[in-house]
Every structure is written in structure tokens, then in C-alpha cells.
Amino acid sequence: MSNLKLYSYFRSSSAYRVRIALNVKNIPYEMIPIHLLKNGGEQHASSYRAINPSEQVPTLIDGNHTIGQSMAILEYIEQKFPQTPLLPEMPHERAIVRQMCEVINSGIQPLQNLMVTQYLTDSLHVSENDKMVWLQFWINRGLTSFESLLDKYSGTYCFGDHLSFADCFLIPQVFSSQRFNIDLSRFPKIKVLNDRCLSLPAFIKASPQEQPDFQP
């Protein structure tokens, strides 16, 4: 039996990744919302900082174990709950899946992170237009790289014909990209895979609009 608690925010792409993985593996969990904007950001409260010193979501709690950062969480649940594996068996294939994840995890998401965009606006006084130019440049650059990897490795899903970490990362990134007015017609494989995954129950259940803290 699972007794997991997931600190999440409906619009966080990082938390969205974890929700997908838990749902694909059919692992029950308690979702605890942390609103990243309300009251100056609930992630900055001392009570949450004691749980996650990075003041970010997601955070997974499993008994006495507390884990932050989405990739670390996915690796943890993959090893503890091996049913419906989200990594292929061969080491070189696992490396490719992780490479696909890192294109998003290192190359896109940190540059669109709320802390970064707030710093651009509040401390550097970047205009809203220039901030959008910044966001679109880095997102388009990363998605172009991801699309190239899909040309080599995709099948039914991002890597071959089985769901993997790569799908858990891609679909939340597409959600974020659409918020920043990215033209997905430039990325036909990404668009097809996004539409396909969003038809699956695990992805539907994990989607932002299905979360208890969702706000339009």
C-alpha cells in the first residue's frame, strides 16, 4: 500500500510530471496544494521551507523520506514501484530517455521558472514584451532539440512504443509552452504526441484543470 503525500501546484510543470508518473503506475497519493502566488507564494512560508528548503514544488513524502526535485522523485518511484516501468531496460536506452528529459529539465524549464520571470520583472525591470521574447526564445530552442530527438527515437510515444519519463516531461512542457504562445505547428511530432498522451486517463487525471487547486 502507498502512503505518499505530494506537495503540488496545479500549474507547475514539475509537479505535473510527478502526477503523471504516479497515475501511470496507478499509485495512490494525497495531494497537498501549495499556491505559488497566493500570499506572496505559499512555498516561501517557514512551514513549507522546513519541508523543502528550495521553496519549490513538487515535494514527495513517503513515510520518513522527503524528496524534492521532479527527476529525483521520478527515479525514486520508478525504483520503489517497478510496476508499469517508465524507463526501458537497456542502459543506453535509459540514457536516451534521461537525455530527452534533461532537454526540458535543464534547457527549458529553469528559464521559464516563476522565480526567474519574477526576477526579470521585479529586479531587472524587464518589460512584459521583452520577458515574453526571452521565454519564447528558450522554449523554442529546447523544443527544437526535443523534436530532433523524436525524429530518431519516437514511436507511439516519445521513446519507442512505451510510455517513459520523456512523456511525463513533454506533456507538462507543452502545457507551459501554450501559456507562452508558442506555435506548436513548428513541432509536428511534439504536437501529435501531446494529443495522443492527453487522451490517456493517467494524463487526463494529472492535467492542471483536474486538480483540486485549479483556477482558470
| Tens of pLDDT, residues 81-94 | 999 999 999 999 99
Question: Cβ distance 16 to 175 under 8 Å?
Answer: yes
Q: What is the domain range of residue 116?
A: 91-202
The closest alpha carbon to 72, from 155, 165, 9, 153, belongs to 165
Given 54, 84, 114, the domain boundary residue is: 84
- The DSSP result for 66-123, as a single string, is EEESHHHHHHHHHHH--SS-SS-SSHHHHHHHHHHHHHHHTTTHHHH-HHHHHHHHHT
* 38 and 80, same domain (yes or no): yes
Assess if residue 215 is contained within a domain: no
CATH number at residue 192: 1.20.1050.10
pLDDT at 27 over 90: yes
The closest alpha carbon to 206, from 65, 45, 59, 16, belongs to 16
pLDDT at 160 over 90: yes
Assess if residue 211 is contained within a domain: no
Given 84, 111, 139, the domain boundary residue is: 84
Assess if residue 26 is contained within a domain: yes
If DSSP codes are grouped into helix, strand and coil, which group holds residue 65?
strand
What's the structural domain count of the chain? 2
Residue at grid coordinates 494529472: 206
Q: Is the pTM of this model over 0.85?
A: yes
* 38 and 54, same domain (yes or no): yes
pLDDT in tens, 191-205: 999 999 999 999 999
Label residue 216 by pLDDT band (50, 70, 90): confident
* 177 and 103, same domain (yes or no): yes
Label residue 1 by pLDDT band (50, 70, 90): low
* 67 and 112, same domain (yes or no): no
pLDDT at 2 over 70: no
Cα 213 to Cα 98: distance, rounded to the nearest angstrom: 30
Q: Please give the share of the chain, as a percent, with pLDDT higher than 70.
A: 99
End-to-end CA distance of the chain: 34
Over residues 108-136, mean pLDDT: 95
In this structure, how many other beta carbons lie within 10 angstroms of the beta carbon of residue 89? 7
* 125 and 178, same domain (yes or no): yes
Assess if residue 171 is contained within a domain: yes
* 67 and 123, same domain (yes or no): no
* 182 and 116, same domain (yes or no): yes
- Using omega within 30 degrees of 0 as the cis cutoff, is the peptide bond preceding 172 cis? no
Given 50, 67, 84, the domain boundary residue is: 84
Cα 92 to Cα 52: distance, rounded to the nearest angstrom: 32
The closest alpha carbon to 140, from 151, 128, 150, 132, belongs to 132
* 37 and 99, same domain (yes or no): no
